Amino acid sequence: MLLGTAGTGTTWGILSSLRESFPGTYVVAMDMSPARLIAASAVADRFEQTPAVADDSFPPLLLEVIADAAVDTYVPTFDPEIILGATLREQGRLAGVTCTAPPSWSAALCWDKLELALWMEDRGIPSPTTRPALELASADGGWIAKPRRGVGSVGVHRVTDEAELSTLRRRDDLGEVIVQALLPGPELTVDAFLAGDRRGSAICRERIEVKSGVCTKARIFHDELVESTVLDLGRALELRGAFCVQVMWDGKTWRRAAKLSPSAPPPVTARNRDLNQRQDDH
Q: Specify burial of residue 90 (Cβ count, 10 A radius: 0-12, 13-18, 19+).
A: middle
pLDDT in tens, 142-171: 999 999 998 877 889 999 999 999 999 999
Q: Which of 98-107, 204-213, 214-223 has the lowest mean pLDDT?
A: 204-213
What pLDDT does 219 receive? Answer: 93
Over residues 56-76, the mean pLDDT reads 97
Is pLDDT at 281 greater than 80 in this prediction? no
Cβ atoms of residues 181 and 128 within 8 Å? yes
Higher-confidence position of 175 and 210? 175
Q: What is the pTM of this model?
A: 0.84
What pLDDT does 254 receive? Answer: 57
Distance, in Å, from the CA atom of 31 to the CA atom of 3, rounded to the nearest integer, reads 9
What pLDDT does 248 receive? Answer: 87
Strand partners, 221: 204
Q: Which of 21-25, 56-60, 125-129 has the lowest mean pLDDT?
A: 125-129
Over residues 94-99, the mean pLDDT reads 96
Over residues 185-203, the mean pLDDT reads 93
Over residues 85-100, the mean pLDDT reads 96
pLDDT in tens, 97-106: 999 999 999 9
Tell me the torsion sign for CA atoms 168, 108, 119, 259: negative
Higher-confidence position of 151 and 64? 64
pLDDT in tens, 236-275: 999 999 999 998 888 776 544 434 443 333 333 333 333 3
What pLDDT does 253 receive? Answer: 60
pLDDT in tens, 265-278: 333 333 333 333 33
Q: Mind listing the domains of the chain with CATH numbers? A: 2-102 (3.40.50.20), 112-181 (3.30.1490), 187-260 (no CATH)
Distance, in Å, from the CA atom of 184 to the CA atom of 126, rounded to the nearest integer, reads 15
Over residues 34-56, the mean pLDDT reads 96
Over residues 171-183, the mean pLDDT reads 95
φ, ψ at 61 (rounded to 5°)? -65, -40
Q: Which of 179, 195, 16, 200 is nearest to 100 (CA)?
A: 195
What pLDDT does 22 receive? Answer: 96
Q: Report the mean per-residue pLDDT for the chain.
A: 88
Cβ atoms of residues 56 and 32 within 8 Å? no
Distance, in Å, from the CA atom of 139 to the CA atom of 265, rounded to the nearest integer, reads 34
Sheet holding 177-181, edge to edge: 130-132, 177-181, 143-147, 157-159
Q: Which of 47-61, 114-128, 154-168, 209-223 has the lowest mean pLDDT?
A: 209-223
